[in-house]
A = this chain, B = another copy of it.
Amino acid sequence: MAEIKVMKDILGENDAVAAENQKLFTEKGIYVLNLMGSPGSGKTSILEKTMEKLKDKLRMAVVEGDLFTSKDADRIEKHHVPVIQINTVGGCHLDAKMVQNVLPRLDLDNLDLLIVENVGNLVCPAEFAVGEDEKGVILSITEGDDKPMKYPLMFKEASVVVLNKVDILPYCNFDLKGAEEDIDTLNPGVKIIEASCTKDTGVDAWCEWLQDRVAAKKQLAAK
């Protein structure tokens, strides 16, 4: 019972800091996406494609969450977009305080879109808001079509779900229609995008979705 109480306290504290972050982002008119998914689902690959396509259209920055290395941040930095690495030193998720701590290193007055790439983990990150407007989940089709129902929280909380690596569907036993129905059952009407970074499939749809969200946030912030 003590463990449950402690967990509630931690989540309560986290929510308070997340609300502070959210307030700041809204004042600045920045749309923030908390991007989650399993290790190897393709989060960084999608971001690299996003940089290529959007960096001249939007002012973007990325916060990279990793346990130890800066491998992902190094990949983002090549695209000349501001990127900040947070190492959780073994921690399984980013929390609002970690993100708050690095915000002074970003030029928030000149930013439209901030993407927070969370630690690769289909479970824990869903429980910790970082101040985002919305959450996104990337699921690689190589992970299996049973995953939405087995790891429902993240899919329930997401505003967009990307089914990634569809180029290797012919070599995997993945029921695309069934998985999409499961996701829609968990989260009716959620935006679902089928994508392949290597074949550049669905990446335009993803970028359009992001641009729409950024525009909506600007409108909201201007009110």
Pick the contact of A149 from B71, B90, B122 — CB < 8 Å? Answer: B71
Q: Looking at the assembled complex, report how far the CB atom of A36 sits from the nearest CB atom of chain B, in whole angstroms.
A: 12
Query: Cβ of B120 and Cβ of A151 under 8 Å apart?
Result: yes
A39 touches B120 (CB 8 A): no
A152 CA to B127 CA in the complex, in Å? 23
Contact of A165 with B142 at beta-carbon distance under 8 Å, contacts A39-B38, A92-B124 already known: yes
Q: Select A40's contact among B6, B124, B140, B153, beta carbons within 8 Å.
A: B140
Contact (Cβ within 8 A) A71 B168: no
Residue A119 CB within 8 A of the other chain: yes
Which single residue of chain B is at the shortest CB-CB distance from A37? B39
Q: Which of B10, B71, B124, B151 is in CB contact (< 8 Å) with A39?
A: B151
A146 touches B (CB below 8 Å): yes
Contact code string A104-125 (vs B, CB < 8 Å = 1, else 0): 0000000000000001111110
Q: Does chain B have a CB within 8 A of A185?
A: no
A147 at interface, CB cutoff 8 A? yes
- Residues of the B chain whose Cβ atoms lie less than 8 Å from the Cβ of A149: 68-69, 71
B-contacting residues, A66-93, CB 8 Å: 66-69, 71-72, 90, 92
- How far apart are the CA atoms of A6 and B9 in the complex, in Å? 12
Report B-chain residues with C-beta under 8 Å of the C-beta of A57: none
